[in-house]
Amino acid sequence: MITKTTVFAMLAIGISTLSLAQQQSDSLKVEQLDEVVITDSKFNLKRENSGKVITKITLQDLENFQGKSVADIINNTVGIEINGSRSNAGQNLNYFIRGGRNRQVLILIDGIAVTDASQIANDYDLRLLNADQVESIEILKGASSTLYGTGAASAVINIKLKKASKDAVALNLRSTLGTNQSQKDTNYAVENFLNSVSVNGTLDKFTYLATFSHQYTDGLSAVSVGQESDAFNTHNGYLKLGYQFSEHFKLNTYASFDKFKAEFDDGFDFADADNLSITNQYRIGISPELTYNNGSINLNAAYNNVEREIQSSFPTQFKAESFIGDVFNRYNFSDTFYTVLGVNAQQNEIESFSIPFGETDFVQDIIADDASFTIIDPYANVVYISDFGLNVNAGLRLNNHSEYGNHLVYSLNPSFKKKFKFGYIKGLASYNTAFIAPSLYQLFEPTFGNINLKPEENRTIEVGAEVHIKDKATVSLVYFNRFEEQFVDFVDQGNFMFQYANTDEDFTARGVELVADVSLTKKLKLMLNGTYTNVEESLNLRIPEIKVNAGLNYQLNDKTFMSLNYQFNDDRNDSFFNNTSFMSETVALKSYSLVDFYISHKVVNNQMTIFMNITNILNEDYEELLGYSTKGRNVNVGFNLSL
């Protein structure tokens, strides 16, 4: 295994390449100076004017990750650990960012918050989203409740779906097939199938986009000792229609469905079982925009319906509905002063059913009329961009929650940029507060719920710097300190009784995030990021203290692209329930390293791309989650055809 000292040495080597990059005469242009980000302000602002270090995964980046899931792609970015993405395809996903968990990460799709009231943490399940539908992803770390409300405590992941082509009719077909096996398997049977089709275009003022995708993955057991494989089967459909009524008014509407079936095993005894998880999600939404001189009025509204069923020894059913509406006014004062004034409204409800012990029929546990809440949040955000380098981003939000009343959050994010002939140097700092409202399950579940729960409160301090060298490199280093109180935990009340409760203890997560993107030559680019996270022992389960991602991208010619990627995950703690002692016990999982290779080549007048990726080339044997399978060496091949 690679030691921590070796990992830090690799980081140092990566940074030292900056001096080499400055001496290259045939450098590849890095367009970071003109890169536009939106998540930290709701305005299209140049990256250099942002007081945050935002990770942006572009369409080109996504093309270089063909055959991978959305969770796999995001898991390569700095400061993020998506636990479960390296296991069986149907494995539940856990989002660990800056010591936080799923309920502290907010996911947006086309700027609209997506949540699932049927989940214990009210989080969105990335397994429902197909990567072929995605155009770009922005990841904003740190508390962002002033712009996005509850749940935006450790990060906001803003996923932008693909838009219509400017042609009248455009067709895209993508197909991938490959293996899906553990480290001990060597038969390389074809068990992974991903297919998608998209039809889109523009007819005068009308735009349309329709996509359908399917994935079927088998061959890998959920638990590591399992002898039977557990299949994952998902279907996704998306329809988006737009119309430009006038120069100043346009309207987009969309509808989607996402369905998956995931077989899973007994997680208590770590044994094969004929269990099945079924999730069906339906979404409809509308996004009108009215523009006027220097501003626009926007509405993002969506209705989401989720039905989940667990077929196991403890069968359960969940039904959840949510409505989110966000109306805001953007105004730009001469490219110097930007303002956003808005109101966000949410309504969520859940109902659940289970079969009591010894009976055969479902009975209702959670009643929708009781298990519901509404949120109405007025908010304001301002951005000031001076002509002498000072930039300030500040915001304020008053949350009005039907169950726990009013809650005020605020943010202040100054930065200072100094331009030089070689590029710029930017220093940044921020102080942000956030909150995480308890989920409906935590509030109203009849056995474990607690109607007296208070929201978790969170504040984050960031200090960092970014250096941009024209045509050569961009390097950033950020220190974060996240303090949390009123943490909601699953607390032992004695006599084998558990209930959700706010803990008396506060905790702090702190760390450092380093990112370096360096153009070594015209054709060769190095991407390196590393994260150090320190979390108090009681909350550090499955969180690596050190995580490193490194990649080399090589553009052989106009048609052929290759990349080699490396990931290191440090030692981690995990826990399991001991059936003998009836106690939870903590165990240490060893560190591991993964190496992946990808190659693509354009054919048929550049209309078709054929590609191959090999993951875990060294067939590393490791544990991502205690007792569960992980993927060994696997090969996927496919094509992407655009007509």
pLDDT value for 66: 83
Write out the H or E segment, with its range, that includes residue 443.
helix 440-444
Mean pLDDT of 601-615: 93
The answer to whether 148 touches 413, Cβ cutoff 8 Å, is: no
Segment 205-223, tens digit of pLDDT? 999 999 999 999 999 999 9
What residues form DSSP beta bridges with 516? 475, 528
3-state secondary structure 318-337: EEEEEEEEEEEEEEEECCCE
Query: Looking at the predicted structure, is the pLDDT value of residue 30 above 50?
Result: no
What is the chain's alpha carbon radius of gyration, rounded to the nearest angstrom? 24
Share of the chain above pLDDT 70, in %: 94
Q: What whole-number distance in Å separates Cα of residue 489 and Cα of residue 497?
A: 14
Number of neighbouring beta carbons within 10 Å of residue 408: 11
Q: Which two tokens stand for residue 87?
A: 């296991």
Whether residue 12 has pLDDT greater than 70: no
Q: What's 579's DSSP letter? A: T
Q: pLDDT tens digit string along 398-457?
A: 999 998 888 899 999 999 999 999 999 999 999 999 989 999 999 999 889 999 999 999
What pLDDT sits at residue 201?
A: 97
Q: How confident is the model at residue 289 (pLDDT cuts 50, 70, 90)?
A: very high
Nearest to 397 by CA among 153, 150, 41, 158: 150
Q: pLDDT tens for residues 358-386?
A: 888 999 999 988 899 999 999 999 999 99
Write out the two tokens for 316: 């359960």
Q: Return the C-alpha torsion angle 385, 388, 389, 392, nearest 10.
A: -40
Strand partners for 568: 548, 593
pLDDT of residue 115: 86
Q: Predicted confidence band at 6 (pLDDT cuts at 50, 70, 90)?
A: very low
- Tell me the sheet residues that pair with 533: 511
- Burial tier of 72 (Cβ tally within 10 Å: 0-12, 13-18, 19+): middle
- Pick from 107, 162, 106: nearest CA to 130: 162
Residue 135's φ and ψ, nearest 5 degrees, are -100, -40
CB contact at 8 A, 308 and 282: no
60 φ/ψ angles, rounded to the nearest 5 degrees: -65, -40
Per-residue pLDDT at 5 exceeds 60: no
**What is the SS3 assignment for 38?**
coil
**Cβ contact 205:230 at 8 Å:** no
* CATH number for position 49: 2.40.170.20
Place of tokens 């996402």: 258
Which tens digits make up the pLDDT trace of 488-518? 988 877 777 789 999 988 999 999 999 999 9
**Over 474-524, what HEC string results?**
EEEEEEEEEEEECCEEEEEEECCEEEEEECCCCEEEEEEEEEEEEECCCCE
60 membership: H or E segment, kind and range: helix 59-63
- The 3-state DSSP composition of the chain as helix, strand, coil percent (nearest 5) reads 10, 60, 35
- How many separate domains does the chain show? 1
* Residue 106 DSSP symbol: E
pLDDT of residue 20: 38
C-alpha 212/C-alpha 238 separation (Å) is: 7
Whether the per-residue pLDDT at 317 is higher than 90: the answer is yes
How many angstroms separate the CA atoms of 194 and 180, rounded? Answer: 12
Token output for 422 = 């070689």
Q: How much is the mean pLDDT over the chain?
A: 90
Contact 578, 587 (CB under 8 A): no
Question: How many CB atoms sit inside 10 A of residue 473's CB?
Answer: 26
CA 138, 144, 149, 155 dihedral sign is positive
Given a contact cutoff of 8 angstroms between Cβ atoms, the answer to whether 587 and 573 are in contact is yes
Q: What is the pLDDT of residue 541?
A: 85
How far apart are alpha carbons 409 and 398 in whole angstroms? 7
At residue 582, the pLDDT reads 65
Residue 19 pLDDT > 80? no
DSSP state of 231: -
Rounded to the nearest 5°, which phi and psi values hold at 117?
-65, -15
Give the pLDDT score at 3.
44
Q: What is the pLDDT of residue 31?
A: 38
Give the model's pLDDT for residue 34.
62
Residue 148, pLDDT > 90, answer yes
CB 301 within 8 A of CB 326: yes
pLDDT digits (tens, 9 = 90+) for 546-588: 999 999 999 999 999 999 999 999 999 998 777 776 677 889 9
What is the rounded CA–CA span in Å between residue 593 and residue 450?
Answer: 42
Note whether 216 and 235 are within 8 A (CB).
no
Q: Which of 303, 211, 300, 287 is nearest to 249 (CA)?
A: 287
DSSP 371: S
Q: Where are the beta strands (DSSP E) in 402-469?
A: 405-420, 423-436, 456-469
Residue 549 is which amino acid?
Answer: N
Over residues 326-330, mean pLDDT: 96
Under the banding of pLDDT at 50, 70 and 90, the label for residue 463 is very high
Torsion sign across C-alpha atoms 311, 316, 321, 324: negative
pLDDT at residue 392 above 50?
yes
Q: How far is 128 from 259, CA to CA, in rounded Å?
A: 7
- Amino acid symbol at 572: R
Of residues 358, 363, 367, the one with CA closest to residue 445? 367
Q: What is the DSSP string of 9-28?
A: HHHHHHHHHHHHHHH-SSPP
pLDDT confidence of residue 536: 86
| Structural domain containing residue 335 | 4-642
Helix (H) / strand (E) containing 73: helix 70-74
Once rounded to an integer, what is the mean pLDDT over residues 267-292?
94
- Strand 249-266 with 232-244, pairing: antiparallel
Residue 269's pLDDT is 86
Residue scoring higher pLDDT (46 or 531): 531
Name the DSSP class of 223: B
How far, in Å, are 355, 518, 564 from residue 438 at the CA level?
26, 43, 42
Reduce the DSSP state of residue 314 to 3 states and report it: coil
pLDDT of residue 581: 67
Mean pLDDT of 288-317: 95
Helix (H) or strand (E) holding 147: helix 145-148
Question: Residue 471 has what pLDDT?
Answer: 87
pTM of this structure:
0.91
Q: Which of 458, 394, 411 is nearest to 150 (CA)?
A: 458
Examine the pLDDT at 633 and tell me if it is beyond 70: yes
